[in-house]
């Protein structure tokens, strides 16, 4: 009875009122108007109201997903889902027990609470409002209003400020420590019983992190103003899905765009004067340290000849159904937690161990950084926001403004480790870790990060030592390092912690440069040409190799049947990954093999020509291996029941009930800009799991922003929602959506009356 009265009281507070009208005596107040595809337009008079409205609207669309995230960051997955189940951390799956140990040990809640005291008042208000809005939705929904997938589950519960602090910390560590969670959670000193968990060392090239972003300046746009094309590549399922929103708050703040689960405002989008997008940066946001251990005790390490004890933290993880809790002790050093990856020789022996120090641990500056970006009136102000806060955790910022300036800023929270320090502090095995991070000598105090004046946190690299470029032409990034964001103006060399310099670019980056040059070579860019450009689905790899593969095929007319069938199928392919393309599936399978062959290219990489080198297949040496790769690809498709000449949309698709929705786009490794990472589907063929997500094209006219966008996987994860697959169909049909930004446009596109919530 008490539960019913609480819900009744909550429902009584839900009233419809004009947008922006204050509700006297209420601590939290917001209005929510839904337009086409269920996009919420949230309006509030203060920052608490903004967070309140955003959380409520997000929970309406994705309650189960967000509730599970709060269980994850609280270290409660084993309790609710079993210790052997899987959690999505970063962009990888790990066992629930490792996830729980990691969050209970590495998330330092007392430190986060203390750090929250230094947040700006508006950042604190946003977080407070988000907690209230999420809890308000639970009250309003009641038992029957909870989606079937999580109805009645103990992990669907009201949240507190601590939950938001944990979730923010997780997002900050998304591209760094989080991917080593099992390696940290299962580290044990020699002589103790180590947990029997498979631990892998993630390859940054295989983590699935990606994106493309373009900023066009006044010299190359049809309207003489700036334009942004944003094409972030993020998961189709799980907590790292984007969600669209339009927020109108105090002080003239008005931003439309997207955020991740638990984000209280847009972190990628546009306002009246600027537009921006993000791509995962090649900079390293942590360093590794090799520790020399005290011969008398492997839980002590030597620094400048002195023995220092490791700090210990014992965590207890509750289990379900009366099973005994699991207790584990983790060890940490002045450089961070100890970690192990035995399969890669990273072990904890009597002589040495390894520790990880993360620049984003405790980074609570991101909210203020994105608020400042959202209220910027020029790319200069965006540059100042990222530079002064150093709060952007792990992404490039690509932006343009109505004045016609373009920006690429690879300015994030990175360790202040210069090239000189990296060299002086290297160890005999530093080179073995090159693909993951910089390994430093932990036996020397001088090898800790340098502390520069006036940075927002000690040990961070000043923005002046990072890469930021402003231009009137164009700048772009497809996840390679800062070195080249426009081939005409390569950047000077910086610290290796910011990424490789004068090294081969990925095929997706090279495709970006090639296609951008072709786009601008045909005239100045406008919305129509930008839309066609974003979904051209060309494969640079195909353009580079298929003529030579055809020559090999012609010279091997008497080859095995599988090779002959493969040659015929590729000869008829249009070299694109359109839904209608026949032969795309075969090339995908072929290139997954051929693209990895050592010595593939006859013309080597030339730093003076990063766009067209390396190139030309080394067919004289690899001809037989290339044809073998083709035969193996044919065999793979035969075994999967996929016809060699099947339309790509019949192979790569998502299911909406019994409806198959074809998905265009292809592998980034094949130089496809409209990247879709597809995996075998339980219903046959392939399903996209990671790739093109929220695509926006934003320019400006005299009245404000002009934005076309699509969210490939749609707004809601609730299968019963009308907005679970509506934009997916639009994406499949390449039907762009002109986003409503002004009051008249919102009113015309509204699909329901404004909803006012307050308490």
- Residue 326's nearest CA partner among 530, 549, 130, 75 is 75
The Cα–Cα gap between 510 and 614 comes to 10
**Predicted local confidence at residue 321, as pLDDT:** 86
CATH 1.10.439.10-classified regions of the chain: 2-192
CATH 1.10.1400.10-classified regions of the chain: 540-672
Q: Say yes or no to pLDDT of 732 above 80.
A: yes
Tokens encoding 576: 């694109």
**Predicted local confidence at residue 207, as pLDDT:** 46
pLDDT above 70 coverage of the chain, percent: 95
- Residue 153's nearest CA partner among 70, 92, 51 is 70
- Residue 415's nearest CA partner among 384, 369, 455, 386 is 455
Work out the average pLDDT over 601-612: 98
326-333 and 311-317: which strand pairing? antiparallel
Q: Say yes or no to pLDDT of 16 above 60.
A: no
**pLDDT band for position 26 (cuts 50, 70, 90):** confident
676-680 and 659-662: which strand pairing? unpaired
CATH 2.30.120.10-classified regions of the chain: 286-358+419-447
Q: Does domain 540-672 have CATH number 1.10.1400.10?
A: yes
Q: Which of 59-68, 188-197, 641-650 has the lowest mean pLDDT?
A: 188-197
The Cα–Cα gap between 344 and 235 comes to 27
- Residue 734's nearest CA partner among 534, 518, 540 is 534
Q: How far is CA 633 from the centre of its chain?
A: 30
Tokens encoding 759: 């308490």
**pLDDT band for position 193 (cuts 50, 70, 90):** confident
Instruction: Name beta bridge partners: 738.
Output: 708
Assign 731 to helix, strand or coil: helix
Q: What is the pLDDT of residues 511-553, one digit of tens each?
A: 999 999 999 999 999 999 999 999 999 999 999 999 999 999 9
CATH 3.60.20.10-classified regions of the chain: 206-283+365-417+460-519
Bigger pLDDT: 351 vs 344: 351
pLDDT above 90 coverage of the chain, percent: 90
Torsion of CA 476, 477, 483, 487, to 10 degrees: -40
Catalytic residue among 211, 332, 443, 539: 211
The Cα–Cα gap between 531 and 552 comes to 36
Work out the average pLDDT over 612-621: 98
Tokens 């950047």 belong to which residue?
Answer: 491
Q: How far is CA 533 from the centre of its chain?
A: 22
**pLDDT band for position 457 (cuts 50, 70, 90):** very high
- Cis preceding-peptide flag for 192 (omega within 30 of 0): no
**pLDDT band for position 11 (cuts 50, 70, 90):** very low
Q: How many CB atoms lie within 10 A of CB 144?
A: 6
Residues 262, 167: contact at Cβ < 8 Å? yes
Burial 240-251 (b: 16+ CB within 10 A, else e): bbbbbbbbbbee
**Predicted local confidence at residue 19, as pLDDT:** 37
**pLDDT band for position 556 (cuts 50, 70, 90):** confident
**Predicted local confidence at residue 558, as pLDDT:** 65
Query: How does DSSP classify residue 177?
Result: G
Q: Say yes or no to pLDDT of 440 above 60.
A: yes
**Predicted local confidence at residue 60, as pLDDT:** 98
**pLDDT band for position 199 (cuts 50, 70, 90):** confident
Assign 165 to helix, strand or coil: helix
**Predicted local confidence at residue 209, as pLDDT:** 59
**pLDDT band for position 419 (cuts 50, 70, 90):** very high
E strand segments, 622-739: 653-656, 659-662, 676-680, 686-692, 694-700, 705-711, 737-738
Domain at 206-283+365-417+460-519: CATH code? 3.60.20.10
Assign 574 to helix, strand or coil: coil
Q: What is the pLDDT of residues 480-499, one digit of tens each?
A: 999 999 999 999 999 999 99
**pLDDT band for position 38 (cuts 50, 70, 90):** very high
The Cα–Cα gap between 331 and 337 comes to 6
The Cα–Cα gap between 147 and 163 comes to 21
Q: For residue 387, what is the enclosing H or E element?
A: helix 379-389
Query: How does DSSP classify residue 236?
Result: S
Residue partners of 416: CB distance under 8 A and separation at least 6: 449, 450, 451, 452, 455, 459, 460, 461, 462, 465
Domain at 2-192: CATH code? 1.10.439.10
**Predicted local confidence at residue 345, as pLDDT:** 83
SS (H, E, C) 91-115: CEEEEHHHHHHHHHHHCCHHHHHHH
- What are the φ and ψ backbone dihedral angles of 207, each rounded to 5 degrees? -75, -10
Q: How many helices (H) and strands (E) does the chain have?
A: 20, 32
The Cα–Cα gap between 32 and 756 comes to 6
Between CA 271 and CA 280, with CA 277 as vertex, the angle to 5 degrees is 155
Residue partners of 452: CB distance under 8 A and separation at least 6: 416, 460, 461, 462
Residues 209, 91: contact at Cβ < 8 Å? yes
**pLDDT band for position 203 (cuts 50, 70, 90):** low
**Predicted local confidence at residue 266, as pLDDT:** 98
The Cα–Cα gap between 103 and 361 comes to 12
Q: What is the mean pLDDT of the chain?
A: 94
> Domain 286-358+419-447's class?
mainly beta
Q: Say yes or no to pLDDT of 9 above 60.
A: no
C-alpha count within 13 angstroms, C-beta hemisphere, residue 620: 3
Torsion of CA 107, 111, 117, 123, to 10 degrees: -20
Q: Say yes or no to pLDDT of 711 above 80.
A: yes
Tokens encoding 429: 């095995």
**pLDDT band for position 344 (cuts 50, 70, 90):** confident
Q: How many CB atoms lie within 10 A of CB 349?
A: 11
The Cα–Cα gap between 357 and 494 comes to 21
**Predicted local confidence at residue 4, as pLDDT:** 33
Tokens encoding 646: 């099947």
Q: Say yes or no to pLDDT of 387 above 80.
A: yes
Q: Which of 187-196, 235-244, 446-455, 611-620 has the lowest mean pLDDT?
A: 187-196
Highest mean pLDDT among 95-104, 427-436, 554-563: 95-104
Q: How far is CA 283 from the centre of its chain?
A: 14
Active site residue 211: yes
**pLDDT band for position 18 (cuts 50, 70, 90):** very low
- Residue 577's nearest CA partner among 538, 619, 531, 532 is 538
**Predicted local confidence at residue 175, as pLDDT:** 86
């Amino acid at each position: 009875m008490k539960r019913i009265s609480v819900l009744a009281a909550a429902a009584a507070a839900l009233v419809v009122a004009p947008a922006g009208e204050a509700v006297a005596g209420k601590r939290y107040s917001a209005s929510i108007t839904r337009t086409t595809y269920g996009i919420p337009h949230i309006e509030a008079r203060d920052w608490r109201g903004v967070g309140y409205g955003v959380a409520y609207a997000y929970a309406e669309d994705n309650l189960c997903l967000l509730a599970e995230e709060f269980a994850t960051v609280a270290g409660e997955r084993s309790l609710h889902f079993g210790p052997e189940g899987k959690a999505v951390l970063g962009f990888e799956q790990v066992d629930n027990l490792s996830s729980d140990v990691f969050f209970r040990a590495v998330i330092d809640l007392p430190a986060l609470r203390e750090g929250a005291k230094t947040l700006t008042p508006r950042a604190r208000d946003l977080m407070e409002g988000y907690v209230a809005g999420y809890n308000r939705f639970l009250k309003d929904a009641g038992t029957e209003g909870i989606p079937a997938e999580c109805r009645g589950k103990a992990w669907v519960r009201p949240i507190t400020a601590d939950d938001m602090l944990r979730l923010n910390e997780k997002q900050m560590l998304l591209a760094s420590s989080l991917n080593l969670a099992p390696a940290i959670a299962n580290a044990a000193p020699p002589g103790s019983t180590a947990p029997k968990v498979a631990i892998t060392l993630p390859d940054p090239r295989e983590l699935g992190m990606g994106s493309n972003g373009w900023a066009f300046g006044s010299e190359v746009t049809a309207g003489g103003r700036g334009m942004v094309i944003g094409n972030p590549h993020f998961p189709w399922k799980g907590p790292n899905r984007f969600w669209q929103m339009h927020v109108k708050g105090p002080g003239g703040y008005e931003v439309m765009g997207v955020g991740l689960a638990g984000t209280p405002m847009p972190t990628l989008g546009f306002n009246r004067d600027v537009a921006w997008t993000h791509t995962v940066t090649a900079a390293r946001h942590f360093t590794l340290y090799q520790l020399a251990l005290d011969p008398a005790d492997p839980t002590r390490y030597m620094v400048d000849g002195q023995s220092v004890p490791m700090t210990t933290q014992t965590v207890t993880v509750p289990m379900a159904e009366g099973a005994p809790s699991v207790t584990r002790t983790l060890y940490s050093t002045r450089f961070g937690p100890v970690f192990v990856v035995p399969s890669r020789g990273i072990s904890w022996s009597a002589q040495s161990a390894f520790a990880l120090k993360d620049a984003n641990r405790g980074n609570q500056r991101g909210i203020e950084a994105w608020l400042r970006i959202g209220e910027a009136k020029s790319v200069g102000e965006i540059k100042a926001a990222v530079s002064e806060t150093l709060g952007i955790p792990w992404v490039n910022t690509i932006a343009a403004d109505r004045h016609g300036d373009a920006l690429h800023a690879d300015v994030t929270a990175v360790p202040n480790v210069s090239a000189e320090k990296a060299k002086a502090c290297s160890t005999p095995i530093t080179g073995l870790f090159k693909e993951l991070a910089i390994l430093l000598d932990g036996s020397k105090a001088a090898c800790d990060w340098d502390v520069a004046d006036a940075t927002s946190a000690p040990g961070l690299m000043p923005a002046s030592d990072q890469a930021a470029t402003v231009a009137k032409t164009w700048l772009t990034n497809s996840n390679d390092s800062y070195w080249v964001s426009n081939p005409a103006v390569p950047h000077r060399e910086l610290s290796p912690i910011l990424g490789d310099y004068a090294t081969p670019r990925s095929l997706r980056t090279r495709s970006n440069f090639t296609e951008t040059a072709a786009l601008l070579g045909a005239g100045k860019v406008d919305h129509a040409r930008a839309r066609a450009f974003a979904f051209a689905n060309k494969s640079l790899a195909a353009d580079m190799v298929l003529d030579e593969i055809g020559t090999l095929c012609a010279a091997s007319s008497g080859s095995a049947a599988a090779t002959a069938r493969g040659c015929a199928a590729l000869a008829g392919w249009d070299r694109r990954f359109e839904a209608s393309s026949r032969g795309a599936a075969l090339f995908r399978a072929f290139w997954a093999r051929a693209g990895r062959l050592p010595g593939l290219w006859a013309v080597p990489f030339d730093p003076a020509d990063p766009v067209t080198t390396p190139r030309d297949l080394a067919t004289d040496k690899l001809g037989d291996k290339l044809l073998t790769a083709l035969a193996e690809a044919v065999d793979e498709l035969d075994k999967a029941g996929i016809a060699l000449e099947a339309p790509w949309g019949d192979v790569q698709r998502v299911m909406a009930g019994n409806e198959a929705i074809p998905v265009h786009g292809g592998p980034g490794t094949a130089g496809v800009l409209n990247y879709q990472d597809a995996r075998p589907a339980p219903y046959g063929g392939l399903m996209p799991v990671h790739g093109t997500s929220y695509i926006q094209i934003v320019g400006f006219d005299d009245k404000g922003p002009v934005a076309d966008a699509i969210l490939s996987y749609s707004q809601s994860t609730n299968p019963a929602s009308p907005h679970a697959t509506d934009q997916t169909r639009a994406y499949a049909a390449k039907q762009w959506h002109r986003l409503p930004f002004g009051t008249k446009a919102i009113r015309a596109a509204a699909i329901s009356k404004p909803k006012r919530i307050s308490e």
